[in-house]
Amino acid sequence: MSKKPFRPKARRPRGFEDRTGTTLRVERHLIERASKVYDEWGFEPLMTPAFEYADALGKFLPDEERPNEGVFALEDDDGQWLSLRYDHTAPLARFVAENFQELNKPYRRYQAGDVWRNEKPGPGRFRQFVQCDADTVGAASAAADAEMIALAAEVMRSVGLKDGDYVVRVNDRRVLDGVLESIGAAEPERRMRVLRAADKLDRLGRDGVAALLGEGRKDESGDFTEGARLDAAGIDTVLAFLGATGGSREDVIARLEPLVGASETGKAGLAALAEIAAVLSNIGVGEDRALFDPSVVRGLGYYTGPVFEAELLAQATYEDGQPIRFGSVGGGGRYDDLVARFTGQAVPATGFSFGVSRFAAALSALGLTGEAEDKSLVVVVAAEKDRSADYLAMAADLRAAGFRAEAFVGSGNMGKQMKYADRRGAVAAVIVGSDEREQGRVTVKDLKLGARLAADITDNRQWREEQPAQETVSRDAWIDAVARISARNR
């Protein structure tokens, strides 16, 4: 008896997504716009490999007992653990340490590419996604942080957002460290739990964060997160810190000063914020573009000073009219200890990163995809089976004229081909059958107009006689006809 051949089930791994068509074009458009800004500001491109040695990623991710915790890891044939990169920052630290003597300092680089996180997936939370980063390594001054904040604001502008449609929220980790010192809760494990709790204020609200600052919290799935175990007074102090926003940048600093008390760490953070405020004002980044917000703490453990997040304020709605809340689309801050893990030498660094998919989805909802969607597809229909070379040549002519075009190379009659063009979202279909060929003419159909008119037409005879969404033109005028159709459908 012959065995049935094994046929694997076609299934996508949990927590991963297939990205296609327009989505990828909008993401590419976003990366190109951001990269142009980074290039103009003097940053150099870099691409590190997808894999790093697990120990190079840092103790904030896997450790020796759990080499697969938080990352996707495998053991190499020499017994060393390799991990898919979790972000672009740890690989940058490794690159700088490995090439320290050859690099000009400060070293300014940008990078876009996939990162992988072995975390629990959920709605809009994937295990593989694209990040785009810019970093300055080797500059210790708060002016370098201020420039990074200004750079983040400029990226927002570069994709078509107007001032007021976004804001960069800024804080300094050392201010919260000073608050924790003042309440006797500065030990590393408790500090990290406070940071992670504070980072969830936007999502969980004050009550949810208060629970995480205390004994802990159970989420909707039933999973329990251990809390920082602060007492009631400590919880109130941290919540007061997180709520000290509003008004000018100087107003926020004034509210924070009594909360840090005598802590030198906290005072250093406030001094950095004061310098950042002065620099931003001098280079024309107003408080409508960058404000101080103590609730911004960033969840990753490697930040050591100023931190910031870029938030979208622009309004859009779902199809049912409900408002879309975009929230943060990027962020960054100062991380002075990562390179030192390799060299033992303090190397200051600061950077900005955004998640491409999340940011691109927000831009699509706001209608800010620019030329990513402007070049609509034109399909040349294969009206005669033995004329494929002619149709391919016509598609090439369209591309030479600046259009996005293809000739149909599948099988099927005219009806099937027109349905194909519709499903592809083509703006126009170009037809040269035997009649057109003999007359030296070309029929061009406006598919978008045809779809709109078809929704209102009830008289098929009128439709056949008037053919309102197509025109037949001479062979020397057909590209102009396509251009007219393309222009009126933008």
CATH of the domain at 399: 3.40.50.800
The verdict on 483 and 389 lying in the same domain is: yes
Sorting pLDDT into bands at 50, 70 and 90, what band is 463? very low
**What CATH number is associated with residue 100?**
3.30.930.10
Q: Are residues 357 and 401 in the same domain?
A: no
Tell me, yes or no, whether 119 and 163 share the same domain: no
Whether residues 89 and 171 fall in one domain: no
Range of the domain at 475: 377-488
pLDDT tens digits, residue range 79-128? 998 999 999 999 999 999 999 999 999 999 999 999 999 888 887 789 99
Percent with pLDDT over 90 in the chain: 56
Query: Where residue 66 falls among pLDDT bands split at 50, 70, 90?
Result: very low
pLDDT surpasses 70 at 65: no
Task: Give domain status of residue 67, yes or no.
Answer: yes
Same domain, 297 and 222: yes
Domain assignment present for residue 8? The answer is no
Q: What is the pLDDT of residues 245-281, one digit of tens each?
A: 889 999 999 999 998 888 999 999 999 999 999 999 9
Is residue 146 in a domain? no
Residue 6 inside a domain? The answer is no
In three-state form (DSSP H/G/I as H, E/B as E, the rest C), the secondary structure along the chain is: CCCCCCCCCCCCCCCCCCCCHHHHHHHHHHHHHHHHHHHHCCCEECCCCCEEEHHHHCCCCCECCECCCECCEEECCCCCEEEECCCCHHHHHHHHHHCCCCCCCCEEEEEEEEEECECCCECCECCEEEEEEEEEECCCCHHHHHHHHHHHHHHHHHCCCCCCCEEEEEEEHHHHHHHHHHCCCCCHHHHHHHHHHHCCHHHHHHHHHHHHHCCEEECCCCCEEECCCCCHHHHHHHHHHHCCCCCCHHHHHHHHHHHHCCCHHHHHHHHHHHHHHHHHHHCCCCCCCEEECCCCCCCCCCCCCEEEEEEECCCCECCCCCECCCEEEEEEEECCCCCHHHHCCCCCEEEEEEEHHHHHHHHHHCCCCHHHCCCCEEEECCCCHHHHHHHHHHHHHHHHCCCEEEECCCCCCHHHHHHHHHHCCCCEEEECCHHHHHHCEEEEEEHHHHHHHHCCCCCHHHHHHHCCCEEEEECCCHHHHHHHHHHHCC
Q: Are residues 184 and 324 in the same domain?
A: yes
Domain membership flag for residue 37? yes
The pLDDT of residue 60 is: 43
308 and 357 part of one domain: no
Same-domain check for residues 103 and 194: no
Domain tally, the chain: 3
Are residues 99 and 165 located together in one domain of the fold? Answer: no
The reply to whether 148 falls in a domain is no
Q: Is residue 45 part of a domain?
A: yes
Banded pLDDT at 454 (limits 50, 70, 90): low
Q: Residue 311 domain-assigned? A: yes
Residues 132 and 162 in one domain: no
